[in-house]
Amino acid sequence: MLPKWFDDWNSKNPVDIYKPAIIVGAAGGAVFAAALLVTWGQPFATDSMQTGPRGTGMSVPEFKADLAKADPTIADYYTEAPYEVEAGEPLAKDIYENVQVLGDVSEGNFNRLMNAMTLWVAPDQGCAYCHAGADEGEYASDDLYTKVVARSMIQMTQSINEDWDGHVNANKEVGVNCYTCHRGQNVPSEIWFRMGAVNENVAGWAAVQNRATSISQSTSLPSDALEAYLLNYETIAVHDLESRVEGSPADGVTPTIQHTERTYSLMNYVSNSLGVNCVFCHNSRAFYDPAQVTPQWGTESLGISMVQELNNDWLVPLRDVYPENRLGPVFADAPKAACKTCHKGYQQPLQGLNVIADWPELATISAEAN
């Protein structure tokens, strides 16, 4: 009744009856478990997001229990619906001195936004964080650098919402406001500074790699990827996939293995910033074919272009406004943004919470801004 190999084993090993029993038991258990999965289904519920054409296997399954974990900073988000504006209601620029942006906002909504910005950025310091004379009721002075920076950041936020709609509102309206980056902190987390060479014992390419840093995501990949791609507009590229191609690394055009390493460093950073893996944007079956990428690839490409503009047009120019303690430790450069400054490890900042619905003042560039 038993298999022939079982009888043979017993005849040759009359005292060792446990090994074949274990084999039979393990095999039977595996078959039983497989039968349960087929008939009853996966016991841990998952949710799959289709990232490309159906039938190509381009989907990303995640456990629903993990998807249900809320970003803890959402609980502290303050919002308030806009006040209705009555005809003839005075505007902020008619009442307060030195209002260079948001001047055409009604007084009530102007103060509503100022209160929200305080809670979003400086909940402990209050109005005095930006206004030197707040305790005396004087708000016009630009003596504090924080006020000058805040004014520029308001304009930058308006620019993001108006000019980069294709990125921030790719799936639905969510927008950005001060809280997107600050989350109740004076200085947003996940800002970055130029690092340069991180290995003082060598020169050349090796000086920017082979030492784990926060910018390289604690890997030995190059630590200058954010500087090269999100500040200096260098082309994101890997080495040529063909062998014996024309061109030389010296010509400045031919991609090299160094470009590949730096690109992988940036891609690793992006993955960690959004909490996703490579197939969120790329087709693993045709990884290097730009015609077979996922829709998210286009959204991310816009995001890279957006960050390049934010750093070069808005953040770097503030370098001389900041005090020394706010500048970078190596090159004394201005703080800069990247993907993780907003996303904080989630596919969408604040998990897709619409942070612009109640703040139309930040949704468009003010016509009177100067």
Mean predicted confidence (pLDDT) in 15-28: 72
Q: With a cut of 60, say whether residue 146 has pLDDT above it.
A: yes
pLDDT band at 67 (very low <50, low <70, confident <90, very high): low
Measured distance CA(219)–CA(212) in Å, rounded:
5
pLDDT band at 302 (very low <50, low <70, confident <90, very high): very high
Measured distance CA(178)–CA(183) in Å, rounded:
8
Q: Judge contact between 81 and 360, C-beta under 8 A.
A: no
Tell me what pLDDT residue 367 has: 41
**Closest residue by Cα to residue 306 from 342, 273, 277, 280:** 342
Of the candidate ranges 64-78, 228-242, 343-357, the one whose mean pLDDT is the lowest: 64-78
Sign of CA dihedral 16, 17, 22, 27: positive
pLDDT band at 40 (very low <50, low <70, confident <90, very high): low
Mean predicted confidence (pLDDT) in 222-239: 92
pLDDT band at 158 (very low <50, low <70, confident <90, very high): very high
Q: With a cut of 90, say whether residue 349 has pLDDT above it.
A: yes
| C-alpha distance across the termini of the chain, in Å | 93
Of the candidate ranges 92-106, 114-128, 189-203, 295-309, the one whose mean pLDDT is the lowest: 189-203
344: left (phi over 0), alpha (psi -120 to 50) or beta: left
Mean pLDDT, rounded, of the chain: 87
pLDDT band at 52 (very low <50, low <70, confident <90, very high): low
Q: Which residues contact 327 (CB under 8 A, 6 or more apart)?
A: 193, 319, 333, 334, 335
Q: Which tokens is 58 given? A: 């381009």
User: Which H helix or E strand runs over 63?
Assistant: strand 59-63
Mean predicted confidence (pLDDT) in 260-284: 90
Q: How far is Cα of residue 344 from the mean position of the Cα atoms in its chain? A: 6
Q: Judge contact between 271 and 338, C-beta under 8 A.
A: no
Q: With a cut of 80, say whether residue 252 has pLDDT above it.
A: no
- Residue at token pair 């272009």: 305
Mean predicted confidence (pLDDT) in 335-360: 95
pLDDT digits (tens, 9 = 90+) for 177-188: 999 999 999 999
223: left (phi over 0), alpha (psi -120 to 50) or beta: alpha
Tell me what pLDDT residue 368 has: 43
Q: With a cut of 80, say whether residue 36 has pLDDT above it.
A: no
pLDDT band at 97 (very low <50, low <70, confident <90, very high): very high
CB atoms within 10 A of CB 104: 16
Q: With a cut of 50, say whether residue 258 has pLDDT above it.
A: yes
Tell me what pLDDT residue 233 has: 96
User: In angstroms, what is the C-alpha Rg of the chain?
Assistant: 28
pLDDT band at 369 (very low <50, low <70, confident <90, very high): very low
Mean predicted confidence (pLDDT) in 43-51: 66
Tell me what pLDDT residue 50 has: 64
Tell me what pLDDT residue 370 has: 31
pLDDT band at 324 (very low <50, low <70, confident <90, very high): very high
**Closest residue by Cα to residue 305 from 195, 124, 163:** 163
Q: Which residues contact 314 (CB under 8 A, 6 or more apart)?
A: 152, 153, 155, 156, 159
Three state DSSP letters for 22-62: HHHHHHHHHHHHHHHHHHHCCCCCEEEEECCCCCCCCEEEE
Mean predicted confidence (pLDDT) in 50-70: 63
Q: With a cut of 50, say whether residue 244 has pLDDT above it.
A: yes
Cα–Cα distance list, 243 to 239, 240, 246, 258 (Å): 10, 7, 9, 16
Q: Which tokens is 321 given? A: 């406004």
Q: Judge contact between 118 and 124, C-beta under 8 A.
A: no
Query: Which three-class secondary structure state does DSSP give residue 217?
Result: coil
Mean predicted confidence (pLDDT) in 150-176: 96
Measured distance CA(5)–CA(121) in Å, rounded:
74
Mean predicted confidence (pLDDT) in 206-215: 80
Q: With a cut of 80, say whether residue 365 has pLDDT above it.
A: no
Mean predicted confidence (pLDDT) in 17-46: 72
For the chain, percent of residues with pLDDT exceeding 90 = 55
Mean predicted confidence (pLDDT) in 99-117: 96
pLDDT band at 285 (very low <50, low <70, confident <90, very high): confident
* CB < 8 Å & 24+ apart, contacts of 139-146: 139/96, 139/97, 140/96, 140/97, 140/98, 141/98, 142/98, 145/321, 145/322, 145/323, 146/186
Largest CA distance in the chain: 104
